[in-house]
Structure 1
Amino acid sequence: MNDLDGALKYLSNSGPEFGPGVSNHGPMAAEALGQLGHTAAIGAWVSSYRKVLYEDTYGRFQEITHDNWRPALGNMRLLGDWTEFFRRELDGAAWTDVLARWWPRLLPGFAAGGGHGVIRTGHAVRMLKESTGPWRIEELARGLGYWAARYQELPEEPSTPRKRDLAQAWEAVPKLRSDQGMGMIFRIRLETVWLEPDFAPAVDSLRLDDDADRALSRLTRAAAASYLTDDHKTPMAFVHALTTPAAVRLVLPSLPTELHWPSVTAAVRFSAAIRSAYGTGQREHHPEEPAQDYATLAERALATEDPHAIKYVEACRREDRLSPDPTYAIAATDWVRRCETGSF
């Protein structure tokens, strides 16, 4: 089992979460390994990672249809029904058509599973752009199904004047005044954002741009910088503030143009919510080691066996190539070091 399709098949009986609500990163990290040039290592990595995963025990309770889908959003009990619904959708239409139809419907619930509904969908889309095998179609069904079942909205304030550029809006993000739900399960902590009245006005002050790709680059660069210099104690959260918008970039070429900017604003809202929930402020970053090249970082990430190390290195490398900035490699080096030492 050295290829991605074999890995997807091997992981097909694993559930979308394990432990205390931690998302299953197997398919995403396996795909990222291939992108990093380590296809031959996929089989051994997946075999090891599968040991920590739970069986997929989600049953069927309600048939989801085009008439009753909306009230089923956010109901994790219906995960099996959501996945089966998207299997039927993908069986009867081109995957690009299904994606274009359901992406805007799910977009308001962008925070699903701490962003992992979006990330898993993004990796599935990149797989399908390379090849449309049955296990890749199944992975898209699972990504969309997980997103729908864990659907989670964040506060909005549409009447806010859009006067700030991304850097200004990012700087305006408030730190939450409540420690309620603080921890590693992002979906629980992000519920607390609703208690912060200044959050939505800060995010919705973002001025619309005509270049979604450029806006995403600014966002991922801001997320990498915040990982390094914000006054926080949870670097894991800030890893997701970058990998989630980076996953949106994987999807944009397969979406109608009119969905590009709404996708960017949803990504900004999510990453800003991570920043608000886990800490803003300022601290000086003192690197433990110089920034490493991405080939070295990929080798080190693989050696840790940590899926977050693999995914973060791949996302930082991709974002750095699109809009070069040393912040990406500095952040990736620091995160890999943390994964090696368990200091996260």
Structure 2
Amino acid sequence: MTELDEALTYLRDCGPEWGPGVSNHGPMAAEALVRLGRSEAVGRFVSDYRKMLYRDAPVRAVAIDGANWRAALGNMRLLGDWNAFFRDRLAERPWREVLAHWWPRLLPGLPAGGGHGVIRTGHAVRALAEKETPERVDELALGLGYWAARYQEVPGSGRFLGSRSVTRVWGEVPKLHTRQGIGEIFRIRLEALYLQPDFGSVVDEVAEPEDAYELLSVVTRLAAHGYLTDNHEKYMGFVHALTVPAAVRLVLGHLPVEQHLPSVAAAWQFTAAIRSVYGTGHREPAAPVTPVDYETLTDRAVATGDPHAIKYVEACRREDRTAPDPIYAVVATDWIRRMEDGTWIE
């Protein structure tokens, strides 16, 4: 059994959230550590992280099936039923078939758990693509189950309906004119988007791209620039504005081609939603950031023991390798510094 499989086994009885509704990042960060070449750090990380998690045993209330699954979406009380549902599906059919069948059904609710449903699913898919084990299959079931139970939509069609570049539309994302739900629980803040009637029509103005993968790179670059120069209220929000589309990239190659554009549209919609609820506007960085190499950033991320540090460095490195741009190392460096000195909450 690999370090990752052992970690997934150790964390299996922990629920997908802890504290005041904060997502459990343990499985995602463990997989990211492996990708960063730090398998030897997985055991120590999960042992420390496990101490803050709950031991959950979700109740079974409803038998979810082909007739009632839509009505069960977004009902966290049915988490146990959703987990069982996807475990059954994955026991019946190959994981890629289950993924291709359910991905488009869950996609409109991509903001589930502040995007952590799709992030957890993305890490599980990458792990499975490398090696299929019972532990990784089960992790995919838990990722999909969390996504379904926390399913949450935001305004917009989830399609590319306009004729304008994503960069131009990014500059016109409207700022949410309320502080309702401001804080670290993204789903509460995102729900307030329904008080901003022009958000959906603006994000739909993006033209359909020729290359879905290339547009994902544009979106993650915009999220990185937004982290650094947007007049935002939460650095954490803009961290996830990048890690969510980066997680979608992990899954695209395992989906039918007709699902690629809708997936990228949903990722763009989420990233724009984060900008609307936490940012918009422009400011200069407080001080120039000199980027550090990713090997050093990885060491520093591991030293923090924080899953956001680990996941952000890994996602930035991956996006940088896909479409090289210095901005990724700059924001990863700044985030690690903030995690180390406690200024990430600013």
Q: Give CA deviations for 1:36-90 in whole Å, capped at 9, x if unaligned.
A: 0000110011000000111113111111111111100000000000000000000
**Aligned position for 1:277:** 277
Identity in percent: 61
Contact 2:159–2:262 under 8 Å retained in 1: no
1:233 Cα deviation from its structure 2 partner: 2.2
Q: 2: CA distance between counterparts of 1:229 and 1:204? A: 24
1:218-257 correspondence runs (5 A):
218-257=218-257
1:158 Cα deviation from its structure 2 partner: 7.8
1:139-288 correspondence runs (5 A):
139-156=139-156, 162-287=162-287
**Aligned position for 2:79:** 79
Residue 314 of structure 2 corresponds to residue 305 of structure 1: no
Contact 2:108–2:158 under 8 Å retained in 1: no
**Aligned position for 1:24:** 24
Q: 2: CA distance between counterparts of 1:103 and 1:2? A: 27
Q: 1: CA distance between counterparts of 2:168 and 2:56? A: 44
Q: 1: CA distance between counterparts of 2:251 and 2:13? A: 26
Q: Give CA deviations for 1:312-336 in whole Å, capped at 9, x if unaligned.
A: 0000000000101011000000000
1:163 maps to a residue whose letter is S
Per the alignment, in what secondary structure is the counterpart of residue 316 of structure 1?
helix
1:287 Cα deviation from its structure 2 partner: 3.8
**Aligned position for 2:324:** 324
Contact 1:298–1:313 under 8 Å retained in 2: yes
1:214 maps to a residue whose letter is E
**Aligned position for 1:9:** 9
Contact 1:61–1:78 under 8 Å retained in 2: yes
**Aligned position for 2:133:** 133
Residue 70 of structure 2 corresponds to residue 70 of structure 1: yes
Cα distance, 1:158–1:18 mapped onto 2, change above 3 Å:
closer
Residue 336 of structure 2 corresponds to residue 336 of structure 1: yes
TM-score of the aligned structures, taking structure 1 as reference length: 0.98
Per the alignment, in what secondary structure is the counterpart of residue 285 of structure 1?
coil
Contact 1:2–1:43 under 8 Å retained in 2: no
Moved over 3 A (4+): 157-161, 286-289
2:339 maps to a residue whose letter is C
Q: Which runs of no fewer than 5 residues in structure 2 stay unpaired?
A: none
**Aligned position for 1:93:** 93
Contact 1:2–1:42 under 8 Å retained in 2: no
Cα distance, 1:198–1:56 mapped onto 2, change above 3 Å:
same
**Aligned position for 1:118:** 118
Q: 2: CA distance between counterparts of 1:74 and 1:158? A: 18
Q: Which runs of no fewer than 5 residues in structure 1 stay unpaired?
A: none
Q: 1: CA distance between counterparts of 2:191 and 2:45? A: 34
Q: 2: CA distance between counterparts of 1:158 and 1:263? A: 8
Cα distance, 1:88–1:160 mapped onto 2, change above 3 Å:
closer
Contact 2:121–2:144 under 8 Å retained in 1: yes
The number of equivalent residue pairs is 344
TM-score of the aligned structures, taking structure 2 as reference length: 0.97
Contact 1:245–1:267 under 8 Å retained in 2: yes
Q: 2: CA distance between counterparts of 1:258 and 1:121? A: 19
2:14 maps to a residue whose letter is S
1:155 maps to a residue whose letter is P
1:286 Cα deviation from its structure 2 partner: 3.4
Cα distance, 1:154–1:273 mapped onto 2, change above 3 Å:
same
Cα distance, 1:275–1:311 mapped onto 2, change above 3 Å:
same
Cα distance, 1:161–1:253 mapped onto 2, change above 3 Å:
closer
2:148 maps to a residue whose letter is A
Per the alignment, in what secondary structure is the counterpart of residue 343 of structure 2?
coil
2:210 maps to a residue whose letter is D
Q: 2: CA distance between counterparts of 1:330 and 1:116? A: 24
Contact 1:74–1:152 under 8 Å retained in 2: yes
Q: 2: CA distance between counterparts of 1:159 and 1:342? A: 38
Contact 1:2–1:40 under 8 Å retained in 2: no
Q: 2: CA distance between counterparts of 1:256 and 1:14? A: 32
1:13 Cα deviation from its structure 2 partner: 0.8
Cα distance, 1:162–1:150 mapped onto 2, change above 3 Å:
same
Q: 2: CA distance between counterparts of 1:5 and 1:163? A: 46
1:304 maps to a residue whose letter is T
1:160 Cα deviation from its structure 2 partner: 8.9
Contact 2:158–2:269 under 8 Å retained in 1: no
Q: Give CA deviations for 1:287-342 in whole Å, capped at 9, x if unaligned.
A: 46511000000000000001000000000000000101011000000000111111
Indicate the RMSD between aligned Cα atoms, in angstroms. 1.3
Residue 105 of structure 2 corresponds to residue 105 of structure 1: yes
**Aligned position for 1:55:** 55
